[in-house]
Structure 1
Amino acid sequence: MSAAVQETRKPVVVVDDVHAGYLPGVNILNGCSLTAYDGELIGIIGPNGAGKSTLLKAIFGMVQVREGSISLEGQDITGLKANKLVSKGVGFIPQTNNVFPSLTIEENLQMGLYQNPKVYSERLEFVTGIFAELGKRLKQRAGSLSGGERQMVAMGRALMMDPKVLLLDEPSAGLSPVRQDEAFIRVSDINKAGVTCIMVEQNARRCLQICDRGYVLDLGRDAHTGSGRDLLDDPKVTELYLGTLGT
């Protein structure tokens, strides 16, 4: 996305100089900043321990923010609990334990609408339009699904609430190469449907190939940012990060 196009769009999520961590006195994020504009697909890459997943959890109120601020459409949401953020239109898909295995696909999708069950039929039509396979198997137990199929259920459940912003933590993790490609295609489809997406990925090259803009995190800071293509073509990013990250 060009600077001129960015100027015509509103920032949806703004992370400003955030310091955050899990243990008292120990920060994982050390002054991290990020801006996601309306309709963007943002990719976050970096080495293990860089703070990628912690950044998503800080946005979603799961990690204490000690300094800095986070805003959603200009409103301060720093420190808000997850249930409040869901009601404001923020969805989060964790890397693991992201479905209820004892429930059917349909029951998992219904869980995504616990705050507004009246629009179930409308949202189900939308979700099965993106994930046609789910519509054919609504009565199947989620625990019997493959990893890639579970990922579809998790994405579908998050979309049931009609989010403005979707946070995805390594959607391709643990999947076969074919299923990884499918996961990236699904993320692109969700974004094209009008949902602003912020995605953490260990498969750095594939992530940068599909995202509008990327952030490279290192030691809890945003070390590099630019369009996905620019980061892929940046010799410094390639030397320092892409050579050791997923291909």
Structure 2
Amino acid sequence: MTDAPVERNEIKNDDVIVELTDVHAGYLPGVNILNGANLVAHKGELIGIIGPNGAGKSTLLKAIFGMVEIRSGDVTVKGESIVGLKADKLVRRGVAFVPQTNNVFPSLTIQENLEMGLYQNPKIFAERLEFVSSIFAELGKRLKQRAGSLSGGERQMVAMSRALMMDPSVLLLDEPSAGLSPVRQDDAFIRVSDINKAGVTTIMVEQNARRCLQICDRGYVLDQGKDAYEGSGRELLNDPKVIGLYLGTLGTDAA
């Protein structure tokens, strides 16, 4: 678990970084994947989103990042609606997104990948490199290596580092442990926790439900495009309904 989960009585309304309110969204006309989804992420929180396949977990992140049409409801960042904004505008608003696959430029070096994350503000490269190197120290020693030669876990580190280069208010992570070996999965979760402890509000979608709930401050269980359950990671890990319906088939390889 994280060292200091956010206490509910310490949260104020102006601490809200991201809020989804009754969001309906989908890819095809007349077909919604999200059916009234709600979510709140407060400053400094690590939020985990779990649920069965097809529940709309990745779609929720893509809705926040403007990759899916939102047909009704609202998404706000620091109290301002971001519905309809393109990716470049969202990055300027402090929203960073790391997709599950195809998340690095394989022909570019690690440094060039990081520079791509700062194309809107290249002057702060040295400052941001120091920050990401404090979390991913090994990358700072291999800046000239091409991303295409890296392992899956190393590519994931590059992708997260690039997303952090613009000093985002919120980091959206889609299945950061997907396709990794058990050792690399553990490392990915440690790095996510380190990023959050460094002050970055983080929203993470994960199929490894148990491990996700072990490190997050709060979790949402998504089912059929709606938030079926919400609570602290510990509460959801010990909720008989969540265990019976979801944890029995999700994340069974977690520690």
Verify same fold: TM over 0.5: yes
Q: Which runs of 5+ in 2 are unaligned?
A: 1-5
1:117-132 equivalent positions in 2, closer than 5 A: 117-132=122-137
Query: Amino acid of the residue matched to residue 43 of structure 2?
Result: D
Q: Which runs of 5+ in 1 are unaligned?
A: none
How much has 1:7 moved relative to structure 2? 3.3
Q: Which of the residues 73, 92, 95 maps onto 1:68? A: 73
Task: Name the counterpart of 1:42.
Answer: 47
Tell me, in whole angstroms, the C-alpha distance in 2 between the residues paired with 1:127 and 1:193: 10
Query: Amino acid of the residue matched to residue 50 of structure 1?
Result: A
How much has 1:80 moved relative to structure 2? 1.1
Tell me, in whole angstroms, the C-alpha distance in 2 between the residues paired with 1:206 and 1:79: 33
- TM-score normalised per structure 2: 0.96
Task: Name the counterpart of 2:152.
Answer: 147
SS in 2 for 1:110: helix
- TM-score normalised per structure 1: 0.99
Tell me, in whole angstroms, the C-alpha distance in 2 between the residues paired with 1:56 and 1:8: 22
Q: Which of the residues 232, 240, 247 maps onto 2:245? A: 240
How much has 1:8 moved relative to structure 2? 7.1
SS in 2 for 1:238: helix
Task: Name the counterpart of 2:3.
Answer: none
Q: Which of the residues 36, 53, 59 maps onto 2:58? A: 53
Cα shift readout 1:221-242 (whole Å, capped 9, x = no counterpart): 0000000000000000000000
Task: Name the counterpart of 1:176.
Answer: 181
SS in 1 for 2:23: strand
In the comparison of the two structures, how many residue pairs are matched?
Answer: 247
Percent of aligned positions that are identical? 78
Cα shift readout 1:73-127 (whole Å, capped 9, x = no counterpart): 0001112111110011100000000000000000000000000000011111111
SS in 2 for 1:154: helix
Task: Name the counterpart of 1:165.
Answer: 170
How much has 1:246 moved relative to structure 2? 1.4
Q: Which of the residues 91, 101, 118 maps onto 1:86? A: 91
